Amino acid sequence: MAASALAAAVIIAIAIAYPLRTRANFTLATVAGLIGIYIVEVLAEPRRLGLENEVYTWLAFAPAELASPEKLYTVLTTNFLHAVDWPLHLIFNIIALIFLGSMLEARIGALRTEVIYLIAGVGGTLIFALFAYASTPEGAIVIVIGASGAISGVLGAFGRLFPHERISLWLMFVPLPPMPAWLVVVGFLALQALALPSASSVAYAAHIGGALVGILVVPLVMRTGGLAEQRRLLREGLPRPPSSRTPLAALATTPELKEIFERIQGESVPEVRRAWLEHFAARARCRICKAELRIEPGALVCPNAHEFDTRA
């Protein structure tokens, strides 16, 4: 592997592993990784910024790579590359990731956001490959690069978990009125589908695939995280107070917490309700001892074993 490609691969590994090991901010770590990789791409072949770039040779994905087991890793690494001769490709993706990634990460945490991001990126890449094979024989040798599929997955996941959350968007520097997240996702998919038949260098199929994968996998990701949290709490053997649990409403002491509490009370989808509970727990403090709270089955609990009932 060329030195430049190896350097980019190391940055990709760090961008993936660092938030997982340290619980650092996933969105910022990924943005830093994307910028670092782009710099490596530019420095690799400063006079040859097209497809001859050595980073592309080793880390970019083309559908034909599916026939080469030794290059299957590119379905992941290609999501961290961007077109060096079109800087706006990177800039637009960074803006979208900061906006969407930060919103989702603040509600479900860095680990789950990263898992969704990576799975959606790989899924979008594979769906692009299927579409490329179905379109023309030449489609199998066209490379696809960029984080757009993974970011589309973050959008899809947010729309699935928080369909009625209103999102403010900009269109060509013109602010649009806030719209429900579900409407943003549907509009995004519709626009991508309309553009799909056009002759363009934009991988619309990867965008659609990434968004659909995000919509489909987020309930599984949320459920898995909940089971892991329950196992951890059981291992720690948290004691139970003899008295009955305090109603959760006692913690809703600010306008923000009251609004989140109302969303919890009105939510019937288990995964979405848990996401709002985690959002609530991250901002609330124990009414009795002011300690931080964590989620346990049926309650929010502080280290001093004060419990606040979360059962519907």
SS (H, E, C) the chain: CCHHHHHHHHHHHHHHHHHHHHCCCHHHHHHHHHHHHHHHHHHHCCCCCCCCCHHHHHHCECHHHHHCHHHCCHHHHHHHCCCCCCHHHHHHHHHHHHHHHHHHHHHHCHHHHHHHHHHHHHHHHHHHHHHHHHHCHHHHHCCECCCHHHHHHHHHHHHHHCCCCEECCEECCEECCCEEHHHHHHHHHHHHHHHCCCCCCCCHHHHHHHHHHHHHHHHHHHHHHHHHHHHHHHHHCCCCCCCCCEEHHHHCCCHHHHHHHHHHHHCCCHHHHHHHHHHHHHHCCCCCCCCCCEEECCEEECCCCCEEECCC
Whether the per-residue pLDDT at 197 is higher than 50: the answer is yes
Whether the per-residue pLDDT at 291 is higher than 60: the answer is yes
Mean pLDDT over residues 245-268, rounded? 86
Report for 9-18, 140-149, 289-298: range of highest mean pLDDT: 9-18
CATH code, residues 3-221:
1.20.1540.10
Whether the per-residue pLDDT at 243 is higher than 90: the answer is no
Higher pLDDT, 222 or 135: 222
Higher pLDDT, 106 or 180: 180
- Domain ranges in the chain are 3-221, 240-309
Whether the per-residue pLDDT at 249 is higher than 80: the answer is yes
Mean pLDDT over residues 130-154, rounded? 81
**pLDDT at site 78:** 93
**pLDDT at site 238:** 42
Percent of the chain whose predicted confidence (pLDDT) is above 90: 33
Mean pLDDT over residues 273-285, rounded? 88
Read off the pTM: 0.74
Mean pLDDT over residues 205-219, rounded? 94
**pLDDT at site 234:** 44
Quick one: pLDDT band at residue 206, thresholds 50, 70, 90? very high
Whether the per-residue pLDDT at 218 is higher than 70: the answer is yes
**pLDDT at site 46:** 55
